Structure 1
Amino acid sequence: MKRELLEGALKERETAVFPAIAAIGGMVVPALVYMLFNYHDASAIDGWAIPAATDIAFAIGILSLLGDRVPVSLKVFLLALAIIDDLGVIIIIALFYSSELSTLALTIGFCMVAVLLVMNFMGVTRLLPYLLVGAVLWAAVLKSGVHATLAGVVLGLSIPLKGQGQQKSPLKTLEHDLHIFVALVILPVFAFANAGIALDSFSVGDLLHHVPTGAALGLFLGKPIGVFCFSWLAVKLKIAKLPADVDMKEIFGVAMLCGLGFTMSIFISSLAFGDANAQYDTYARIGVLIGSSLSAIVGYIVLSKTLPKNPAR
């Protein structure tokens, strides 16, 4: 996120505002769709944030199947939207899916954040001090009752982008070193650990239950409606501009791909229900898989129909 803000897809105000507004719509409307189906159930309503997430890896993966027919500006729009979307979901997790708070642990955590900021301000560019302080921060946030995901966000934002003299970028170095481990180990383990569904007590009739229905329609309908309508309004009200070489039909196709919640949505389901309400967790996971699959298929079809067959080289 920091790299994109300083020198990447979100560097310019015009490029940041458009996907930011779209991301807000892509979180608010799906949550409202889910609540529409579950407002009468006090237990089910805890999963309101399940369809608010977008799985960056899968959305970009589907888009890449269309090859060079996809304008670079459209790829940047989806990537920026998904980055902002994920950051918003992480904040939601920290605020709404945290347990009882520990004052001592929170105090230690705030002290570690202050140390990170001081090191950044003083121009410390070695990674080891940041990682050591970050480890203490993570443990403190974990024990505080706030979801520890937030510690990673704070640590990532505190590490300098530029090194001293001829030194390589500390932030890019860490991102590069982590990439293989994350892609080949953490992401697959995360996906398999969170995507498991116990079907022994599940029947076809359960698909009509309000939890899987709310989760599936929140992703398949709420996401594209929220992303597209907020994007359209932003352009009409002249708050933002469409990316170069992109029209609203292609924005709608990308909006459909944003309904790919998968791993993040399933993760939120485990936080909202977990072992305390395993049946609803199973229902939500099935809804997420259905909504994500439909979004991927329809999004690919829409983009394949609207993108130029022979793009300019």
Structure 2
Amino acid sequence: MYRVWNFIASYSLFLIGGAVLALAWANVNAESYHHFVDFVLIDNFFIGHLHDDGHGHVTRVLTLHYLVNDVLMAFFFGIAAKEVWEAVILENGSLRGKKAATPLFATLGGMLGPITVYLGLAMVMGSETYNAVANGWAIPTATDIAFSYLVGRMVFGAGHPAVRFLLLLAIADDAGGLLILAIFYPSGALAPEWLLLSLGAAISVFVVFNWLPRRLDRGDQLRTRSTWVRKHLSFWPYLIAGCLSWYGFQESGLHPALGLLPIVPTIPHADRAFGLFADAERHLHDLLNEIEHALKIPVELILGLFGLLNAGVVMSSMDSATWLVLAGLLIGKPVGIFLFGWVAARPLGLGIPEGMRIIDLVVIGCVAAIGFTVALFVASVAFDAGPVQDAAKMGALFSFFGAAISIAVGKLLRVQKKPV
């Protein structure tokens, strides 16, 4: 039923390859690596990093790093937003109803736990350390949905209800992560009036190319106007609206990688979803799913470039931020998920899926501690380039050891694997 390996091969092998190459390159020749990352594509452009020439003249410079992290990664976050949107809005969405209550509580614990551990330990280390690393509090809240799902299946087996619980938690974690990035990590001085451009683009494309054709087709079983729009215009109106929305985010000071989020809900979608990693998803041919299918190969390459441009840190850069990120993920995640999941399941009486034990929440927490992709991204926006950012990225990369810890804890707690 599930195409997990295909998904991992598609979305993760390029990412891993890029990250490994970046680590090797940075440790062999750090100077040439950083020259490559910061390579200027276009100077004095309308998109890119803000640059002050020292004489009060501010321009934008498009570097390779900006192109990947701020422009192309918008497609990755757009796909994440698509999964969250379907999980929330569709009648059979996985984050709707009582079945989602306990995973949502556990997700909250899986975010508050790491924050508490990260900031708490930073305070214990002293004010100097705390001031240096405090802005990275969101890094250990991340969960890498693809890697976590793969490890979860290895630990529990494909048929175990804990795997679906983990998937719901990971999707909710993505939603929380998008909100955190939008609210707490602006890319520059805030100019919220520019968000009117994003809002206007979203409303316009929805009304003109989605709502209006459907309204005019009322009583028309052939859906003549909607079919014409779909056949002749396809995704182009939404791409144009996406570009306008992205530009609005850049100019507003919000991170532009989130610029497609207002557009995703405007795209016509099916009235049901089979869930992330479900083989049946490829048989859905609504415009939203077809756009996701079309983005598959580009996003593979984008993630490979993201790994190459963000994971290049020298091994000697390990510092307090490294251990704080790891502690937040490997301690805060399991403790937070277990405590909040237990409160939801027992005192609040919301329960857990049949066939799953309360103690399984600990294992789920260990699996969810694999931050990797999103943790790397947050580290790149939480800190300016330099030693603290590099140290935090090392923590994000080392979170991959959560896989081995999850397997060991699963055996220790005697998880019974359940095949499909």
For structure 1, which runs of at least 5 residues remain unmatched after alignment? none
Aligned residue for 1:185?
301
Taking the TM superposition and a 5 Å limit, the aligned residue runs for 1:251-270 are 251-270=361-380
Aligned residue for 1:174?
291
Aligned residue for 2:219?
none
Counterpart CA distance in 1 for 2:93 and 2:270 is 17
Counterpart CA distance in 1 for 2:403 and 2:203 is 42
Aligned residue for 1:85?
173
The Cα offsets for residues 198-248 of structure 1, whole Å up to 9 and x where unpaired, read as 34x54xxx54x3x22211100000011111111100011235221232112
Aligned residue for 2:351?
241
SS of the residue corresponding to residue 270 of structure 2 reads coil
Q: Which residue identity lines up with residue 29 of structure 1 in the other structure? A: G
TM-score scaled by length of structure 1: 0.86
SS of the residue corresponding to residue 139 of structure 1 reads helix
Aligned residue for 1:140?
248
Deviation at 1:174, TM superposition (A): 1.4
Q: 1:274 to 1:249 in 2, by over 3 A?
A: same
Aligned with 2:395 (options 287, 293, 298) = 287
Deviation at 1:181, TM superposition (A): 2.7
Q: Which residue identity lines up with residue 170 of structure 1 in the other structure? A: L
Q: 1:89 to 1:256 in 2, by over 3 A?
A: same
Contact 2:198–2:262, Cα closer than 8 Å, also in 1: no
Counterpart CA distance in 2 for 1:192 and 1:133 is 29
The Cα offsets for residues 269-298 of structure 1, whole Å up to 9 and x where unpaired, read as 1111122xx1111111222233x1332111
SS of the residue corresponding to residue 274 of structure 1 reads coil
The Cα offsets for residues 251-276 of structure 1, whole Å up to 9 and x where unpaired, read as 2211111110112112111111122x
Q: 1:7 to 1:197 in 2, by over 3 A?
A: farther
Q: 1:38 to 1:153 in 2, by over 3 A?
A: same
The Cα offsets for residues 83-103 of structure 1, whole Å up to 9 and x where unpaired, read as 111111111111111021224
Q: Which residue identity lines up with residue 294 of structure 1 in the other structure? A: F
For structure 2, which runs of at least 5 residues remain unmatched after alignment? 1-83, 215-225, 272-283
Counterpart CA distance in 2 for 1:8 and 1:2 is 12
Q: 1:175 to 1:73 in 2, by over 3 A?
A: farther
TM-score scaled by length of structure 2: 0.65
Counterpart CA distance in 1 for 2:419 and 2:245 is 49
Aligned residue for 2:110?
26
Q: 1:239 to 1:146 in 2, by over 3 A?
A: farther
Deviation at 1:34, TM superposition (A): 0.8
Counterpart CA distance in 2 for 1:271 and 1:113 is 26
Counterpart CA distance in 1 for 2:395 and 2:419 is 40
The Cα offsets for residues 54-95 of structure 1, whole Å up to 9 and x where unpaired, read as 11111112123358x343532221111111111111111111
Give the fraction of aligned pairs with identical amino acids, expressed as a percent.
30
Q: Which residue identity lines up with residue 350 of structure 2 in the other structure? A: A
SS of the residue corresponding to residue 284 of structure 1 reads helix
Deviation at 1:110, TM superposition (A): 2.2
Counterpart CA distance in 2 for 1:234 and 1:213 is 30
Aligned residue for 1:61?
150
Counterpart CA distance in 1 for 2:178 and 2:400 is 23
Range 259-268 or range 98-107, more displaced: 98-107
Taking the TM superposition and a 5 Å limit, the aligned residue runs for 1:1-313 are 1-5=84-88, 6=90, 10=94, 12-39=96-123, 40=127, 41-66=130-155, 69-98=157-186, 99-119=188-208, 120-122=210-212, 123=214, 126-162=234-270, 168-182=285-299, 184-199=300-315, 202=317, 207=319, 209=320, 211-238=321-348, 240-275=350-385, 278-290=386-398, 292-304=399-411, 306-309=414-417, 311=418
Higher helix share: 1
Q: Which residue identity lines up with residue 288 of structure 1 in the other structure? A: A
Contact 2:245–2:262, Cα closer than 8 Å, also in 1: no
Contact 2:199–2:262, Cα closer than 8 Å, also in 1: no
**Which one has the largest radius of gyration?**
2
Counterpart CA distance in 2 for 1:131 and 1:177 is 13
Deviation at 1:12, TM superposition (A): 4.3
Counterpart CA distance in 1 for 2:199 and 2:349 is 36
SS of the residue corresponding to residue 187 of structure 1 reads helix
Counterpart CA distance in 1 for 2:342 and 2:92 is 24
Q: Which residue identity lines up with residue 76 of structure 1 in the other structure? A: R
Q: Which residue identity lines up with residue 270 of structure 2 in the other structure? A: K
Q: Which residue identity lines up with residue 113 of structure 1 in the other structure? A: A
Counterpart CA distance in 1 for 2:419 and 2:334 is 28
CA RMSD of aligned residues (A): 2.4
Deviation at 1:37, TM superposition (A): 2.2
Q: 1:18 to 1:160 in 2, by over 3 A?
A: farther
